[in-house]
A and B are shown apart, each in its own frame.
Chain A
Amino acid sequence: MNILSLFGKRGESASVAKNRLQILLAHERADDGSDALLISSLREDILAVVAKRFDIDPDSVRLEMDRTGDVTTLGIDIELPAAKAS
């Protein structure tokens, strides 16, 4: 709670809520469940490519997705063993 709220400034949290819902619902209405499958296959493709060069534990590959407005980013975090080409 900041000092401005003492003087009746309208809270910002409602507009944050509206914005979050718009992004989320736009995505959910369009999603037929194929997203997870697509990402799952993508993950396997990436894993196969990286595995050519490194011995990696499949569980050390983390995918992070972030949907902001019109843009969706996919972050791939791979824990590499001590570097050695195989």
Chain B
Amino acid sequence: MSNATVVVVTSGKGGVGKTTTTAAIASALAKEGYQVCAIDFDVGLRNLDLIMGAERRVVFDLVNVVRGEASIKQALVRDKKLNNLYLLPASQTRDKDALTEEGVASVISELRMYFDWVICDSPAGIERGATLAMRYADEAIIVSNPEVSSVRDCDRIIGLLDAKTKVAEDGGRMPKHLMITRYDTERAKTGDMLATDDVVDILSVPLIGVVPESKDVLKASNVGLPITLSDETSPAAKAYMEATRRLLGENIPVTIPEEKKSFFGKIFKGRAA
């Protein structure tokens, strides 16, 4: 019997890369051989199914399970490539009020028995969907762009993680990891963009990874593959794979994989890393 670690991927602000991060980390963990379930908590606006390429195979969803209309096993969609990776989709036809705290609690506690890792993709905002996504988490990955509004919203989310979660209510402190996405090394160098150290200083959350801005992320979402499965040589995929190793407890320095720029860079990509 497993006893999964439940991780919430959250940010407050929309569009910073929560779903991309959820799909990338869940797939990277599955590639390491763990039993992994990714849950989409964005009821009414689901997208994790699309990013993971499972949209045509969704039958039941989280709301069906919470309301007892389907069992968890019936609702889980198995990944096409990795048979130890599952998705529990959000409902597209209901709204976020369809989720109840008790319902989510029982879903999470059942999933804990079947999986090693449960990755919860939070909706944007600080309302019910977001607070339920973090409610039963053991750890949090906070996704931020190096940009003022995103960092501010993360600070707000950190406050909620320390107040509204089960861990916090039981007197504990939720372990948090900061994932900076859409990072542009050049612009940070010239001082046109917040550097990773700036964001870490402001939020006081240890860094788990820095994902460079990369065209490969859009390409991966076009074809419905998590970036860590679509192109392992992509700097974004490398950053997510490194972050996953840190999540697993490895103590490795954070690097910022770079986009290969030149024709020669492509040819000699083995050395460029």
A31 in contact with B93 (CB, 8 Å): yes
CA distance A2 to B88 in the complex (A): 33
A65 in contact with B56 (CB, 8 Å): yes
**Interface bits A60-83 vs B (CB < 8 Å: 1, else 0):** 011111111000000000000000
B222 in contact with A14 (CB, 8 Å): yes
Q: Find B55's partner among A16, A20, A40 (CB 8 Å cutoff).
A: A20
Interface size on A, residues (CB 8 A): 30
**For this complex, into which size category does the number of interface residues on chain B fall?**
20 to 34
A68 in contact with B56 (CB, 8 Å): yes
> Could you tell me which residues of chain B, from 53 to 80, have a CB within 8 Å of some CB in chain A?
55-61, 64, 69-71, 73-74
Q: Which residues of A contact B263 (CB under 8 A)?
A: 6
Interface status of A13 (Cβ within 8 A of chain B): yes
Which positions in A face B, CB cutoff 8 Å?
1, 6, 11, 13-14, 16-17, 20, 23-24, 28, 31-33, 35-37, 39-40, 43, 58-59, 61-68
Which positions in B face A, CB cutoff 8 Å?
50, 55-61, 64, 69-71, 73-74, 92-94, 218-219, 221-224, 231, 233, 263, 266
Other CB < 8 Å A-B pairs besides A1-B266, A16-B224, A40-B70, 9 of them? Answer: A6-B266, A17-B223, A36-B61, A36-B69, A37-B69, A40-B64, A63-B74, A65-B59, A67-B56
